[in-house]
Every structure is written in structure tokens, then in C-alpha cells.
Amino acid sequence: MRNYRIAEARIAKGWTQTDLAKKIGTTQQQIARYESGDNDVKSSVIIKMSEALGVTISYLLGLGEDPGVIQMRRSPSHPMPVVGRIAAGTPREAIYQTGETHEAPESLWEAHPDGFWLEVSGNSMNRLFPEGTLVLVDPDEEVRNGDVAVVFVNGDDATLKRVYYDGETVRLHPESHDPEYQDRVIDREDPDAPEVRVLGRAVAYASPDGWRA
């Protein structure tokens, strides 16, 4: 089940499911399935919803707390550092300095001044991020239950996953079209468990050049 925030944005507008369906050219039943997480939302549909509801794509995907903070197409822009590649599949040593930057809207930089971009490598999060996506990570943002975050496993191994907490247990959940990717559950009270450290929350993303829904 996906963690879309379609219902939150729709209710904030004072719209019914039927209202939203008419705005984007679909049915009330389809909107209900999207909101429940029973159906994946195609990128083309997410874009229509974002424009109709006046919120960001990142917010609808559950990556941002404030629907008005993240606007990837605003200007002027500001360069933010690209730190390296992040594995969206098996954890790997992935964090290193590249010396490169990628432009972000100035409002995004102001909201997340210590943020940095990481390039996605792998397919375990491809429901949200295709290969080559740049994900903006803010190390100052609290990672709460269900957020997408960068997690260090065993020191220098890093991975991008949706994170769930249950006491001392951490569950790293993939968002993949490929069923081979499964949840990884780590009990931090187990003396043999790998060390887990959350680096920061994903707050925005930029799709790779040439990518189409």
C-alpha cells in the first residue's frame, strides 16, 4: 500500500473525490483506489493532480510535510551540492564528494540550506524514483515513521528506503515494481544486528534528463 497524500490535499481544497476526478479526467472510483493505495498512480496522473490541487508532486508522494514548500519549477534557482550516488537496491558504499552541483529553486534552498542531492542507483525505489533521479536529502529534517530517508547500514553502506519504526526495530521498505525487493527488518537490540544510522529525510527530487512517464 502506497503512502500517497492525495486525500489530504483534496480535503484541504474542500473537494470531493468526484470533484477531483472531474478536474483530471477520471472517475470517482479511480480516485478512491488511488487514495487507498490500492492502485499505483502513474507519473502523468500525479502531475495532473499536482497542478489541480496546487501542491507539489513530492508532497503527493509523501516526501514533503508542507505542500507549499517544494516547487521544483520555481525560479530563481540556487546551486546545491551533489554528494554522490545512493543505492536504491542493496546497500552499498555510496556517499562521497563529487564537486558537482545541481540547481534548485531558491525557495527550496532557503527551506533546506544544508540539503544535498544524491543520485539514485538501483531499482528498489523505482515506484518513486527511476534510475538517475536526483533526490534532495536534508540531514536536519526529522525522519518520522513512513518517511523516505537515506539510511547508513554497517558504517559506510547507504541505501534509500521508506523507514518504519516499531520500538527498537527498524523496517526498511522498498517501493519497487520488482517483487524481488523485500522489507529488511533490523532489531537494534540484537547484538549481531548491523548498525543503522539515519542520515536524513528525502524532501524533493529531480527526474533524470529524458525521463518520461
Query: What are the pLDDT digits (tens) for 119-128?
Result: 888 888 988 8
pTM for the predicted model, two decimal places:
0.63
| CA gap 111, 125 in Å, rounded | 25
Given a contact cutoff of 8 angstroms between Cβ atoms, the answer to whether 199 and 150 are in contact is: yes
- Whole-angstrom Cα distance, residue 203 to residue 123? 19
The full set of domains in the chain, from first to last, is: 6-55 (1.10.260.40), 77-206 (2.10.109.10)
Q: What is the mean pLDDT of the chain?
A: 82
- In this prediction, residue 55 carries a pLDDT of 85
- Give pLDDT, residue 210: 47
Distance in angstroms (rounded) separating the CA atoms of residues 201 and 49: 23
Strands (E), 45-133: 77-87, 92-93, 95-105, 116-121
| Mean pLDDT across 165-176 | 92
More confident residue, 21 or 155: 21
Give the number of residues written for the chain: 213
Terminal alpha carbon distance of the chain: 21
Q: What is the pLDDT of residues 92-149, one digit of tens each?
A: 666 666 678 888 888 888 889 999 998 888 888 988 888 888 899 999 999 999 999 9
Task: Band the pLDDT of 65: cuts 50, 70, 90.
Answer: low
Percent above pLDDT 90 for the chain: 24
- pLDDT over 70 (residue 66): no
Collapsing DSSP states into helix, strand and coil, what is residue 185?
A: strand
Q: What is the mean pLDDT of residues 30-56?
A: 84
- Minimum mean pLDDT among 14-23, 53-62, 186-195: which range? 53-62
Catalytic site residues? 124, 161
pLDDT at 48 over 90: no
Contact yes or no for 96/118 (Cβ under 8 A): no
- Would you state the pLDDT for residue 156? 67
pLDDT at 159: 87
C-alpha cell at 112: 533546506
Per-residue DSSP letter, 42? P
Contacts of 70 (CB under 8 A, 6+ apart): 56, 58, 59, 63, 64, 108, 111, 203, 204
Interval 22-40 mean pLDDT: 86
